[in-house]
C-alpha cells in the first residue's frame, strides 16, 4: 500500500474511532449531566491532573519510541511492556498514599477513596499500551476502532445505570474503569501479541533515552493544561470546577478530536519519511493549514451560539459554564499549532 493510501485509510479509521468514541461519550455525558450535579463532575475534574501526569510517567515516552524505531524485535516490545507494568504499579502505590493529601489540598474528603479507585486504570492500561503502540506503528486504526467503540458503549451503560440508581460521582468512576477494562481485554484478543519473559537493559536504555524527553514535555503540558482546574478547585467550589470541565469538554469535541486524530496518524506517517526533511516540512505545512481552516470558523460559530446550545443540551443548571466555553473557543483556534 502506498504512503498516501496508508495515510488516507489511517485517517478515515482514526476519525471513525475518535468521533465515534466522542459521540458516544458525548451522549453519555449529556445524559449524566442531566442526572448528576456539577459538583460531582467537578470532583472528577480535580483528580484528572494526577491521573494524566501518572499516565505520562508510566509510559515515559517509550511507546512513542517503539513507533518511531525502524528495527524492532520481541525483546524491544517485551522490555517496554514490563517497564510500563512495573511503573504503573509503583505510580499507583504512590498515588494511593498521596490520596489523603490531595483531598486535604482541595478540602474534599471524598476524594481519597475516589482517587484510590479511579487510578487503578493506570495498571489496566499498562497491560495494553504496547499492543496499542504496535497497532499504531502499522497504522492499523481499523482494529482500534473495533476495540474502542464497544468499550465506550459498555462504560457508558454502566455510568448511566449507576447514576439513575443514585450512585452520584461513583457512576463516573466506574464508567471509566469499565471502559478501560473492556478495552484492555479486547486489545489482548485483537492484537495477537503477548510479551515474552525477557527484559533487555540495552533495549530499555535505547527507548528510554528517546522517550523520557517526550515524557517530561508531556508532564509540563499536562500541568499547564490543568493549572486552571487546580486553582479553581483550590480557591473556589467543586461546582465551578464542574462548570469549567464541562466547557472544556465541549471545546475539545471539535478541537482535540481533529488534532489528536491527525497526530495519531501523522506520527507513524512522519517516521516513515523522517530522512526526507523537505517532504516532511511540506506535508506538515499542508496539514496545519487544513486543520486551522476547519477549526477556526467552527469554534467562532460555537462561541456565538454557546448560551442556547448549553441551555438546550445540558439544561439551565449548566449555564455558568458558558463564559468559560467562549474563552476556550478563542484559545482553541491556536491549539492545533501548539499541538
Of the candidates 261, 259, 221, 236, the one whose C-alpha atom is nearest the C-alpha of residue 336 is: 259
Measured between alpha carbons, how far is residue 300 from residues 31, 163, 248, 329 in Å? 26, 34, 15, 7
pLDDT for 132 equals: 86
What is the full per-residue pLDDT of the chain (339 aa) written as tens digits?
Answer: 555 555 555 556 566 656 667 778 888 888 999 999 999 999 999 998 888 888 777 766 788 888 877 778 888 889 989 998 998 999 999 999 999 999 999 999 999 999 999 999 989 999 988 888 888 777 777 788 888 889 999 999 999 999 999 999 999 999 999 999 999 999 998 888 888 888 988 888 888 888 788 788 878 888 887 888 889 999 998 999 999 999 988 887 777 666 666 666 666 667 666 677 787 778 778 777 777 787 888 889 999 999 999 999 888 999 999 999 999 988 888 776 766
Look up residue 276 and give its three cell numbers.
526526507
- What is the C-alpha separation between 207 and 71, in angstroms, rounded? 12
- What is the C-alpha separation between 44 and 121, in angstroms, rounded? 14
CB atoms within 10 A of CB 256: 19
pTM value > 0.75: yes
What b/e readout covers 122-149, taking b as 16+ CB neighbours within 10 angstroms? bbbbbbbbbbbbbbbbebbbbbbbebbb
Packing angle, helices 238-272 and 277-304, rounded to 10 = 150
- What is the C-alpha separation between 31 and 44, in angstroms, rounded? 17
**What distance lies between CA 291 and its chain's CA centroid?**
20
pLDDT for 144 equals: 80
pLDDT for 265 equals: 63
* CA torsion through residues 248, 16, 184, 272, sign: negative
pLDDT for 14 equals: 60
Phi, psi of 168 (to 5 degrees): 60, -130
Is residue 111 within 8 A of residue 103, CB to CB? The reply is yes
Of the candidates 221, 301, 286, the one whose C-alpha atom is nearest the C-alpha of residue 254 is: 301
- What is the C-alpha separation between 104 and 110, in angstroms, rounded? 10
Residue 252 exposed, middle or buried by CB count within 10 Å (0-12, 13-18, 19+): middle
pLDDT for 290 equals: 76
User: Mind giving me the DSSP string for 101-127?
Assistant: HHHHHHT-TTHHHHHHHHTTHHHHHHT
- What is the C-alpha separation between 23 and 25, in angstroms, rounded? 5
**What distance lies between CA 36 and its chain's CA centroid?**
23
Amino acid at each position: 500500500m502506498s504512503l498516501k493510501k496508508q495515510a488516507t485509510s489511517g485517517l478515515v479509521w482514526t476519525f471513525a474511532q475518535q468521533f465515534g468514541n466522542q459521540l458516544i461519550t458525548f451522549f453519555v455525558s449529556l445524559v449524566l449531566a442531566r442526572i448528576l450535579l456539577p459538583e460531582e463532575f467537578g470532583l472528577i475534574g480535580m483528580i484528572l491532573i494526577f491521573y494524566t501526569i501518572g499516565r505520562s510517567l508510566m509510559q515515559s515516552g517509550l511507546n512513542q519510541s517503539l513507533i518511531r524505531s525502524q528495527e524492532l524485535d520481541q525483546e524491544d516490545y517485551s522490555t517496554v511492556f514490563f517497564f510500563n507494568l512495573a511503573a504503573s504499579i509503583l505510580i499507583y502505590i504512590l498515588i494511593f498514599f498521596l490520596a489523603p493529601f490531595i483531598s486535604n489540598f482541595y478540602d474534599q474528603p471524598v476524594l481519597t477513596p475516589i482517587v484510590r479507585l479511579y487510578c487503578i486504570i493506570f495498571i489496566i492500561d499498562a497491560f495494553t499500551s504496547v499492543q496499542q503502540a504496535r497497532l499504531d506503528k502499522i497504522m492499523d486504526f481499523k482494529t482500534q476502532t473495533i476495540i474502542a467503540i464497544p468499550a465506550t458503549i459498555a462504560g457508558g451503560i454502566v455510568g448511566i445505570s449507576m447514576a439513575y440508581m443514585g450512585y452520584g460521582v461513583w457512576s463516573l468512576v466506574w464508567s471509566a474503569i469499565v471502559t478501560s477494562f473492556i478495552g484492555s481485554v479486547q486489545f489482548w484478543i485483537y492484537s495477537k501479541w503477548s510479551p515474552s519473559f525477557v527484559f533487555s537493559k540495552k533495549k530499555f536504555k535505547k527507548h528510554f533515552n528517546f522517550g523520557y524527553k517526550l515524557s517530561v514535555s508531556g508532564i509540563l503540558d499536562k500541568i499547564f493544561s490543568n493549572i486552571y482546574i487546580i486553582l479553581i478547585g483550590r480557591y473556589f467550589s467543586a461546582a465551578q470546577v464542574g462548570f469549567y470541565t464541562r466547557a472544556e469538554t465541549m471545546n475539545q469535541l471539535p478541537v482535540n478530536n481533529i488534532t489528536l486524530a491527525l497526530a495519531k496518524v501523522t506520527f507513524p506517517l512522519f517516521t516513515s519519511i523522517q530522512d526526507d526533511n523537505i517532504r516532511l516540512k511540506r506535508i506538515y505545512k499542508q496539514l496545519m493549514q487544513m486543520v486551522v481552516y476547519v477549526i477556526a470558523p467552527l469554534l467562532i460559530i460555537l462561541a456565538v451560539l454557546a448560551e442556547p446550545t448549553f441551555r438546550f443540551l445540558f439544561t439551565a443548571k449548566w449555564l455558568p459554564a458558558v463564559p468559560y466555553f467562549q474563552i476556550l473557543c478563542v484559545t482553541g483556534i491556536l491549539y492545533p499549532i501548539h499541538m
